[in-house]
Amino acid sequence: MKKNIRILIVDDHTVVRHGLRLMLELKPGMQIVGEACDGIEALSQARSQKPDVILMDLEMPRVGGLQAISEIHPEFPGIRILVLTSFADSEKIVMAIKAGAAGYLLKDSTPSDLVRAIQDVYCGNFILPTEISQKLVYGLQQPAQSNPAETGLTRREREIIRMAAIGLSNQDIAKKLVISDGTVRFHLSNIFSKLQVCNRSQAILYALRHGWVDLNDDQ
């Protein structure tokens, strides 16, 4: 039997939490294991429930989402944190990614977009919708200018990081390049090492900050 994705909902608005619970519980493969109204409760629930995915709001009383992510991610790196917020502010996006978020989704997204995002981050993919990517890229002040070749990336590694940055999963990249998923993971590991980053999220942020990605490129 396929394993359910165990989800923790973190939001300071009761009606939002209950609405998300009711919606997600109707979806096959989704299991809500807890709710939290702020970062303090989120950390406590993460420790007791060990969810697979956390839906994390950013603006909350006592302890907000950014601090909660920075505390939960180092302690539970296997828990995938998907930011679900009303804010598309570039600075908040960068800070959330740096803190360890696996994705960033706006609350006006459709239920199907949310379910797909949960499934994607659970599978290890990084979620950053195009409209948010645009705000991130164009909102960064004086982005650093560099060429991927200067980092020692090979042509294939440059292709892969660009595809990852526009939201393609490992499976999508493998299909487009006609290589195996394992080969994609191998290249990503080399990319992390060369860019001196720890994970896919940080590598994508690096690529976005340095202007390597054309968001109108359909690869």
Name the nearest CA neighbour of 36 among 49, 22, 23.
49
Do both 27 and 130 map to the same domain? yes
CB atoms within 10 A of CB 196: 10
Task: Give per-residue pLDDT as tens, 74-115.
Answer: 899 899 999 998 877 666 777 788 788 988 888 888 999 999
CB atoms within 10 A of CB 147: 11
Which of residues 78, 113, 138 is at a domain's end?
138
Do both 95 and 171 map to the same domain? no
Do both 75 and 106 map to the same domain? yes
How does residue 119 score in pLDDT terms, banded at 50, 70 and 90?
very high
Task: Give per-residue pLDDT as tens, 126-184.
Answer: 887 766 665 555 554 444 555 666 678 888 998 898 888 776 788 889 999 999 989 99
d(CA 43, CA 38): 9
How does residue 219 score in pLDDT terms, banded at 50, 70 and 90?
very low
Structural domain range at position 39: 5-138
Assess contact for 33 and 6: CB atoms under 8 A. yes
How does residue 14 score in pLDDT terms, banded at 50, 70 and 90?
very high
How many domains is the chain partitioned into structurally? Answer: 2
Q: Is residue 215 part of a domain?
A: no
Do both 122 and 59 map to the same domain? yes
pTM of the model: 0.66
